[in-house]
Structure 1
Amino acid sequence: EGIENTNYFVQTSKKKVILTIFENRVKKSAIPKFMEILIFCSKNRIKCPKPLADSKGKFINEIENKKYGIFSFLDGKSKNNWNKRDCFLVGKTLANLHNKNLRRSFKLVNNLGILSLKVLYNKLKHKINGLIPNASKPISDEIKFLTKEWPRCLPKGLIHADLFPDNVLFNEDSISGILDFYFSCHEILAYDLAITLNAWSFFDGQFKKEFFNEIFKGYETKRKLNKLEKDKINLLLRGASMRFLLTRLYDMVYVSENELLEKKNPIEFYKILKFHQNLENINDYIK
């Protein structure tokens, strides 16, 4: 499971493990920090792959100019069809992750933050209309709006930043693990919630209000959002939509077919962005 790196299941004489080879999207210099995050989360009962040291105590090694690590095996599978209870558990799990890491400083910069969107757009602007007809100017206008209106004073901490269904493992009716922390960074906590809401609340192109509500309810069982966070949720949802729209467009344009990266359709997030542009506040989603 997970799509950002190459993963191999390995059965040893003693146990099952996962061999992960870090691909180009993960910066080599950032890998030790990601290992630190996973070790910290494992010690604090966050269900995630635990890095395993070799006989020399090293967590990271290299083969053919690529870094790799060995991780504990997690039972379970991701779901292609999820329900309200699954969404409630996802929200609760995300808030638990935020709470556990609030007192620990992982100062990882968000390389795909709001200020990077214009740079990413400039690399794509002459290609966008060929992939999504007449979308280049609306995307440019939205980036200008987001850059101007983006909130600066919301609570921050370590976020997952990629809690999509393929990064959550279920064992029957419970969550057995969270995968792919490789976009984790120090960022607005409610932005992470917005990423998760976008990922789980749209099914077959349709907004599922009941899924949105259950994620929100589950999250607030562990961490209550303040008034300003709720007031800015539409803006955060739009920003989260733009982030994945642009990175999917980038992958379509610049990632070769020879690279082991699963390309996903950017039109999905263009439609999600349009959906949010027609709403204004939290009550439009939960009532």
Structure 2
Amino acid sequence: MKAGDFSKLIKLRLTFLVTFSASISFLIGSKVNGVIDWKNWGMLIIGGFLVTSAANGFNEIIEKDLDKLMKRTSDRPIPAGRMTTGQALVLSLFMGIFGTYLLGSLNPTAGFLSVFSLLLYAFAYTPLKRKSPIAVFVGAIPGALPPLIGYVAAHPKIDEIALVLFAIQFVWQFPHFWAIAWVLDDDYKLAGFRLLPSGNRDTVSAVFAFASTIIMLPVSLLPTYYGYGGIYVGVVSLILSLVFLYQGFMLMRNRDIKSAKSLMYGSFLYLPVVQLMFLFDFIGKV
């Protein structure tokens, strides 16, 4: 098996982003405790990476026949015939079990949430993608759990800070995924995926995407509102949210792929910057 095939099986870029958000939240939780255990931080990164990789592996096993139909996924190792379903299953099971063990050894709650996230993503969100646009809402739950898992791995209590971290990533996913769904709608329809709110590139879907950027603005300011972050994270979050809002408005006005791409690329920048600013500002206040 080539490294490139393994990278595609686990969706490396997505897995990296998920692991990054969990690692930032772990550091925030650690500052609440007053000390950072770098060994545990490393275990969280490895465990989170493995569990996320396993979820993506199960996703590709389930969708192997559908992936053959889409241009962007036809070269994945299973539909391309470079990896068998059995090989992918063994790899995914190993990663899921070992990753859950690592996270569970840090904190039972982190272990439980990681199993719940994996199961919800692979076995609820994945099949729902062909049935209803509600799949985006269902998928946003496991998608927002990594920062919660990272936080409770360091600070074993689901408190206000944990819920704020969850809320930011949960709401962020709607403009993020609807922008992606708009860009890839033609390809998605080849596999029967229904991810846009109306099922089509139209005004209704664009309005939903724009509305989600409106909601993102106050949610991004929650760290400052509750006093966990200061002026820096507040200002940066406000500026990024206003840019995000503008990009969502342009999609609603133009209803074209170019505007959707702008919103999509904006989302890639938005989340890590806001999370990093939350961490830096929080460290400065503690």
If the length of structure 2 is used for normalisation, what is the TM-score? Answer: 0.30
Between structures 1 and 2, the one with greater strand share: 1
